[in-house]
Amino acid sequence: MTDASEIWHDDLLGRHQDAEFLYILSVNRVAENQRAGKEGAFVVNVDAQWGKGKTYFLTRMYKQVLLAKHPAVFIDAWQYDFVDDPYSMVVSALDEYLKSLENAVPKTKLTAFKEKAAVVRKNFGKILIIATKEIAKTGARKVIGEGVDQIASLAGETPTDDKDKEKTTTGEFLETLEKNLSEISEAAIDKFAKTKIDNINETKRSLENFKAGLKDVMALLESELEKTLPFFIFIDELDRCKPTYSIAMLERIKHLFDVTNVVFILATDTKQMCHSINAVYGSGFDSKQYLGRFFQRSYRLPEPSYSDFANNLLLSGGWDFQSWQVPFVTAGNTEWYVDFFALTATLFGLSLRQFEQAIDVLRDINSVRLYDNQLQILYIFPFICEFVIERELGSDAYDNVVKKLKSVHDKWGYSGTSGKKILYFDYFTALHHLASGPLHTVLENLYSKANNAAFSPANRYILRIGGDEQQQRAANRVHPETPSDLSNYTNLIVHVKRMHEQT
């Protein structure tokens, strides 16, 4: 990529401006904190619901800061949430990035660069070893039991029989514990306490050395490779991770990477993150306040317009528009489809989430393609909108759709090339007429009225497509009294429902 316009060339939701705002904010806030003598990283939470472009936003902003010569790494947290400690993933990404720069470091500075990177790596290892020991001790009984064994082991004394640790009742366990502790000498307890204190002190030293090493590496990046600080670390998909992993990631960022000239940009669905935290700490826990401890700023990505959202869904979906049919536009006219879907969703009062569900249902129907005829978008999409609202399509589905659209039928339309407004409602009701009975009978009725001056363009359209369908049926030896394929649209939506019942 040579410039920002290429990075954001497919920006369908207007995210470039949001990225520019956050970039300037982050860089200037880091500089302000340094002038004020404030230490620590700057952490920004990018908040948006699933499907609203967080990943697109982060990946493009990541490329943009690289273009501006900032050191930067990108981490997909969900891809690695099977790893026990997220600290490992952040340091691994950092280490991989530093190794990728070694060829660009002047030979006179290469040894120093490698040494400082090694300091970061070495102290990371020390912190991880000690932290892992503590993380492994889950559950009070397990912690106490291991503590007794550790004390005895340090003193060279024989630990209690394993069978004593298998006592099942609280009373038996406490009785055994009291017996075990009474058998441990004062010297063993002192030695155990000293070991714990030494571990804590070693962790503190390693953490200080880790932060100092990271600062030294960043200074070298700035002086020798002409990198521009701050160092950006992007973490995506945190809200999709296991709750315990998400919490651990935030804790590690807070305590281990709180270093000046480091900026974290995290993408989360904050509402979903709050649910995850409550799943761990309980429903009464103030998860919103808890998250506030980790983020200096939380930036809510603005909701896209219905048109922008439809544009994004259609242009990024690999749709086969040739399988669709609309009477007055060509199949490749994506601009018309964007306007039609956005307008229809708006008139039905769909939320953006419901709009997305409606497009997903249409995608599934489009993939199935049970019929040889093209899909009549003007007819099927209103039923899909009705489905995502009501979650059902009964025998009264058509009446319900008509009730919703009749009052706004003058708004539900399109100004064609002639400038005359074409009302979609007329075509929707005409298509329903084609689906309302045996195809042969419906067509005979239409043919009898075709020469009437009042015969509408909508009726001429259904007469044409109905005739095409009848010819196909004759070739395939389908009984002429069978209803049009249009009559099965609602059944098709109901079938698709089985894949959308959890959404």
Residue 145 has pLDDT above 50, yes or no: no
Question: Whose CA is closest to 464, among 484, 480, 487, 478?
Answer: 484
Which of residues 369 and 235 earns the better pLDDT score? 235
**Average pLDDT estimate for 293-298:** 92
pLDDT for the residue numbered 344? 96
Residue 56 has pLDDT above 70, yes or no: yes
**Average pLDDT estimate for 396-423:** 88
pLDDT for the residue numbered 276? 83
**Average pLDDT estimate for 451-469:** 91
Binning pLDDT at 50, 70 and 90, where does residue 193 land? low
Which of residues 337 and 179 earns the better pLDDT score? 337
Which of residues 62 and 494 earns the better pLDDT score? 62
Q: Which domains does the chain have, with CATH numbers?
A: 1-101+225-302 (3.40.50.300), 123-210 (no CATH), 306-497 (no CATH)
Judge contact between 195 and 154, C-beta under 8 A.
yes
pLDDT for the residue numbered 137? 44
**Average pLDDT estimate for 261-282:** 90
**Mean pLDDT comparison of 107-111, 143-147, 301-305, highest-scoring range:** 301-305
Binning pLDDT at 50, 70 and 90, where does residue 143 land? very low
pLDDT for the residue numbered 264? 95
pLDDT for the residue numbered 314? 86
Which of residues 129 and 486 earns the better pLDDT score? 486
pLDDT for the residue numbered 355? 93
Judge contact between 466 and 484, C-beta under 8 A.
yes
Residue 144 has pLDDT above 60, yes or no: no
Q: Is the peptide bond before 86 cis (omega within 30 degrees of 0)?
A: no
Q: Please give the C-alpha separations between residue 336 and each of 350, 381, 411, in angstroms, as whole numbers.
A: 19, 14, 15
CA within 13 Å, CB half, 160: 24
| SS3 of residue 381 by DSSP | helix
Residues 6+ apart with CB under 8 A from 133: 199
Residues 194-252: tens digit of each pLDDT: 666 666 667 677 778 888 888 888 998 898 888 999 999 999 988 888 888 888 888 88
* C-alpha to C-alpha distance for 471 and 454, rounded to whole angstroms: 26
* C-alpha to C-alpha distance for 42 and 57, rounded to whole angstroms: 19
- For residue 270 the two structure tokens come to 């904050």
* C-alpha to C-alpha distance for 368 and 494, rounded to whole angstroms: 13
* C-alpha to C-alpha distance for 100 and 120, rounded to whole angstroms: 16
One-letter amino acid of 256: L
Q: Across all residues in the chain, what is the average pLDDT? A: 82
The runs of H, that is alpha helices, within 282-351 are: 287-292, 306-315, 334-348
